[in-house]
Structure 1
Amino acid sequence: MSDDESFAAAYREHYWAVSRYVARRLDGRSSDVEEVVAEVFTVAWRRRNDLPATPLPWLYGVARHCLANAVRGYGRRRRLLDRIGNDESAHGKHIVQGPDAGSPADWVHEALARLAPSDQEVLRLTAWEELGVDEIAVALGCGSRAAAMRLHRARRRLAAEIDGLRISVAAGPATLRRDTPKEDGHG
């Protein structure tokens, strides 16, 4: 099969999986999703001779990089709006209900949002994309042992965040105030 045929097959077979991967990370903003997915497949087309036999984890890795570029662009726009002072949502503050106020999914998502982006990504690759450790390694561009360790540590940090939410709610008011997710994920 030629490189062009391999690309066409990968596109047909994995377009929707890549679209779902991107949409879950951009909260479904459809115009942004389409833009990022188009960039993923543009990169894949340019690098079609590098497509592996099982291209989906590789495409997820490309999508991670495209998402990072898009998020940096959104951040620049948000900082500009913040400097101008026209957008209250640019300040990144919101009120979060405690674990008892909603469904378990709500506070699991809250705990996940408190993790470092790298921890969020490895957990999402496992839970949302249903990748195994070897596939996660391909998507993250690391070895299998490193991927397994990242997953183990991310799970441990997520459990600690969930426990922290439970303790905060039990000890204090039912409403927690949070400015932004932790950047390092080690707190």
Structure 2
Amino acid sequence: MLKQQINVLGFAGSLRKDSFNRALLREAINLSPEEMKITDFDLTEIPMFNEDVEKAEDPDIVTTFKDAIREADALLIVTPEYNNAIPGVLKNALDWASRGGKEAPLLKKPIAIMGGTPGRAGTAQAQAQLRQTLITTRSLVMVEPQVLISEVHRKFDEQGHLTDEKTGQYIQRLLNGLEDWIKHFNK
């Protein structure tokens, strides 16, 4: 019996081209289980949330983002930590995706979180804040395994390829857990 493909939408909360968190997302795409496809969504073009704009009509990129979330079986959010918190670009994207009442794309969406930072706390505070935001949106956030990569700058070579085997194992464990998490809600 063939397994059904699992479609995951991934996005990183960093806009920097050579971001370590974007590199972590690329590694997740490469390390994903055979039956899982992770699609990367770039948050660069999403405008700042403005209810006046929303009342007129969602911008095209916001509609595309919301549709991509709705169509995905789950989300993989990769967050850096800026000043002990999630980046504004990530919070802004989630604000757009939380809108729509009972039709909000984040409502009951299974989600896995990971992130890396050059510091030693491995995005612990950003991930805690992100979890709080996603609980408010009534998303189904995985509790564990947690992937909090400290000293992330030491885990990649100059071309942005992962060189740390343990980090790769953590990512694989998270993706296997996400697969189980999705199946739990699709029984």
Q: Same fold (TM over 0.5)?
A: no
- Structure with the larger helix share: 1
TM normalised by structure 1 equals 0.27
Structure with larger Rg: 1
TM normalised by structure 2 equals 0.27
- Structure with the larger strand share: 2
